[in-house]
Amino acid sequence: MSIELFGKKTLQLSQLNYIKLRILVISQYFYPENFRINDLCIGLKELGHSVSVLTAKPNYPKGYFNKGYNFFNKSIDEYNGIKVFRSPIIPRGNGSGARLFINYTSFVFFGILRLLFINEKFDKIFVYAPSPITVGYIGAVASWKFKAKSYLWVHDLWPESVKDAGGINNKFILYLIDLMTRSIYSFYEKILVQSPFFKEYLRNQSVNQSKVIYYPYYAEKFYKIVNPKAEIKSLYGNGLNLLFAGNIGVAQSFDTIVEAARILKGKLDNFKFIIIGDGRDKKRIIKKISEYSLEDNFKFLGSYPPDKMSDFFACADALIVTLKDTRIFSMTIPGKLQSYLASGRPIIASLNGIGAKIIKDSNSGFVSSSENINDFVNSIIRFDKLSDYKRQEFGLNGRKYFEKEFERSKLLKRLIDIFEQ
């Protein structure tokens, strides 16, 4: 049977069925854990493709299994009509180096074991690798088992990110991680990278450049321009409100914000950093804030679901993003940057490299170099003096840039184009 359009026969129904892909997504993290792979799977399904997920039992970020899950139960799950195959995993616990190593390697072992009991057919294997890169071994086995092309979406550059964010400096260990990473890359049809600056790094790891494709994060549909809500605004201060959202970890260089606040206290009458999120560096940071007597200039609101964040962004005068001053982070597009741009709010950043370039190219705010505290302070003081019109202009510039470079539907279609190349 064929379909007619404008009086002409087009595709056979059998052909239409053929072009709908059967995609297996492999990720250590998945719903109810808050990662962007959740929305990407929904997006691929919305485009009419069959999507299944192989993942672990959820235990991030708390370090123990989410309510309703344990080591043995729920080997098959469901999320918005997407079939989810779950493998056991050793939870990450307190997030120490030893516990993370066990957590990562246990997912490789149990993930491959779980894979062997999946009796379905797939055309494409898509591996989401924010960290650890070791998930790539599961994708390689899946590609062999299902005789399907495999695609690895790389968000961290190993071993560089392990050294800078994880504090591992042993040269022999870093050498072994480098060998492991190179071996993982060799298994894949295409390697997608979240930043164009990653390409050169992979070239130095002897990765064939014809395999490497720039494919950035997008921001979910709920990141948009919204009107401020009085009940959220009431949580903020009366002066200049600067909002930081996301992980409070080593990579984010939160000390830059604290040191800036220490200087600003003698220069601005009324300002407050609004913090939404959590992380392993949070306790140390709160202690430092107390030591500097800056409690009145910080407000920690805890964590909120991603779909609520635009409401918090709308009530802030500007959104803050900072990263450490290292080579790896100069090559990285911070995950929050797309969300900030989509929300149409001005940005004040302390970044190097590609992140700084995006803010400058979009004209969405002020940017100073990473961990340059005096320049970061000057950016905040400059922003405080801006008119409401100029602040709004920064925000709208960011939204326009987002729609051009990071819009959801465009990037989902781009991913299908990559699959069909």
Please check whether residue 225 lies inside any domain of the structure.
Answer: no
Burial class, 61, CB count within 10 angstroms (exposed 0-12 / middle 13-18 / buried 19+):
middle
Under the banding of pLDDT at 50, 70 and 90, the label for residue 421 is confident
Q: Check pLDDT > 80 for residue 163.
A: no
Please check whether residue 35 lies inside any domain of the structure.
Answer: yes
Q: Check pLDDT > 90 for residue 205.
A: no
Average pLDDT over residues 358-371: 98
- Please check whether residues 189 and 296 belong to one and the same domain: no
Q: Which two tokens stand for residue 204?
A: 């130095």
CB atoms within 10 A of CB 117: 9
- Please check whether residues 190 and 307 belong to one and the same domain: no
Please check whether residue 223 lies inside any domain of the structure.
Answer: no
Please check whether residue 36 lies inside any domain of the structure.
Answer: yes
* Cβ-contact 86, 114 below 8 angstroms: yes
Specify the number of domains making up the chain.
2
- Please check whether residues 340 and 262 belong to one and the same domain: yes
- Please check whether residues 8 and 41 belong to one and the same domain: yes
- Please check whether residues 245 and 155 belong to one and the same domain: no
Helices (H), 147-253: 160-166, 171-186, 198-204, 230-233
Q: Using one digit for the tens of pLDDT, what is the confidence trace for 296-313?
A: 999 999 999 999 999 999
Amino acid at 298: F
Q: Check pLDDT > 60 for residue 350.
A: yes
* For the chain, percent of residues with pLDDT exceeding 70: 95
- Please check whether residues 143 and 282 belong to one and the same domain: no
Mean pLDDT, rounded, of the chain? 91
Burial class, 89, CB count within 10 angstroms (exposed 0-12 / middle 13-18 / buried 19+):
buried
- Please check whether residues 241 and 379 belong to one and the same domain: yes
Q: Check pLDDT > 60 for residue 18.
A: no
* Cβ-contact 299, 235 below 8 angstroms: yes
- Please check whether residues 399 and 416 belong to one and the same domain: no
Q: Using one digit for the tens of pLDDT, what is the confidence trace for 36-78?
A: 999 999 999 999 999 999 999 999 888 899 999 999 999 999 9
- Please check whether residues 48 and 131 belong to one and the same domain: yes
* Cβ-contact 355, 331 below 8 angstroms: no
Q: Using one digit for the tens of pLDDT, what is the confidence trace for 113-133?
A: 999 999 999 999 999 998 778
293: CATH: 3.40.50.2000
- Please check whether residues 275 and 140 belong to one and the same domain: no
- Please check whether residues 414 and 313 belong to one and the same domain: no
Q: Which domain holds residue 143?
A: 2-218+408-420
Q: Check pLDDT > 80 for residue 17.
A: no
Please check whether residue 224 lies inside any domain of the structure.
Answer: no
Which residues does residue 51 pair with via DSSP β-bridges, in sequence order?
23
Q: Using one digit for the tens of pLDDT, what is the confidence trace for 166-182?
A: 667 788 888 888 888 89
CA–CA distance, 3 with 167 (Å, rounded to integer):
60
* Cβ-contact 39, 27 below 8 angstroms: no
- Please check whether residues 185 and 278 belong to one and the same domain: no
Determine the pLDDT at residue 187.
94
CA–CA distance, 323 with 321 (Å, rounded to integer):
7
Three-state DSSP class for residue 94? coil
Q: Using one digit for the tens of pLDDT, what is the confidence trace for 262-321?
A: 999 989 989 999 999 988 889 999 999 999 999 999 999 999 999 999 999 999 999 999
At CA 166, angle to CA 262 and CA 143, rounded to 5? 135
